[in-house]
Amino acid sequence: MAQAIQRIADNLARVRERIAVAANSVNRDPSEIQLIGVSKYVGVEETAALLQSGCLDLGESRPQQLWEKAESAELASAKWHLIGHLQRNKVRRTLPVVHMIHSVDSLRLLEAIEQCASELQRPTQVLLEVNCSGDRAKHGMTSDALRRLLPSLADLNHVSACGLMTMASLKGGPDVAEQNFADLRKLRDTVQSECPSGIQLRELSMGMSQDFEAAIRAGSTMVRLGSILFEGVQI
């Protein structure tokens, strides 16, 4: 395990350096980019190694795994991000342990979160997931669906919509990913002016291990990185 811990710390340092280089290449301040360490591939020990190395924001894509890790004493100091699909019947258990939900993909889900956040008196931050690639029919809203949802943001009292999230096309390669990221940035810039007053979609959650540098160049403020942080670690 000692070897794995060192390897995770080294991976993290190398990734932070690459984030800084990508940010500097487009004259952005690297501190504008938040790293979410995606721990879905590993158990509590490896996740704790990542946390101890200084990655305090951790992401899980399955609610159950997030609940389990959030209950673990070794991971008590983490801030948890749910990055995968959330069913409405799992909202109640998720809200008390989550810092941000990146994957709100329908008005129905948004309303369920508002209802629960109100009952639990638990202010909740969310991102609206957009399907920019077209090759993942199930995940994320179309840009039209996003636009239709915008007026409802005025009715939220316990939920803050802080920005947009997307996943790039897996099939398309780097050029297509770059286009997907540029599209999300453009969509955000356009819909910002259509938002009810007080709503600031400042966050863009985009970029994974294969494509985070392109995402940063396109304006990402949150990169969600998993496999690259656990490279060389036997799981």
The residues binding ligand PLP (CB under 6 A) are: 38, 40, 61, 83-84, 167, 208-210, 224-228
Q: What DSSP character marks residue 197?
A: T
When the beta carbons of 185 and 224 are compared against ligand PLP, the nearer one is: 224
> Looking at beta carbons, which residue is closest to ligand PLP?
226
Q: What gap in Å lies between CA 174 and CA 206, rounded to an integer?
A: 14
Asked if residues 233 and 7 have their Cβ atoms less than 8 Å apart, the reply is yes
Rounded least distance, CB 225 to ligand PLP, Å: 5
Buried/exposed code over 142-175 (b: 16+ C-beta within 10 A; e: otherwise): ebeebeebbeebeebebbbbbbbbbbbbeeeeee
When the beta carbons of 55 and 228 are compared against ligand PLP, the nearer one is: 228
Q: What gap in Å lies between CA 37 and CA 12, rounded to an integer?
A: 9
When the beta carbons of 122 and 139 are compared against ligand PLP, the nearer one is: 139
Rounded least distance, CB 198 to ligand PLP, Å: 28
Rounded least distance, CB 151 to ligand PLP, Å: 27
Distances (CA, A) of 152 to 107, 117, 156, 183, 195: 8, 16, 7, 23, 9
When the beta carbons of 84 and 219 are compared against ligand PLP, the nearer one is: 84
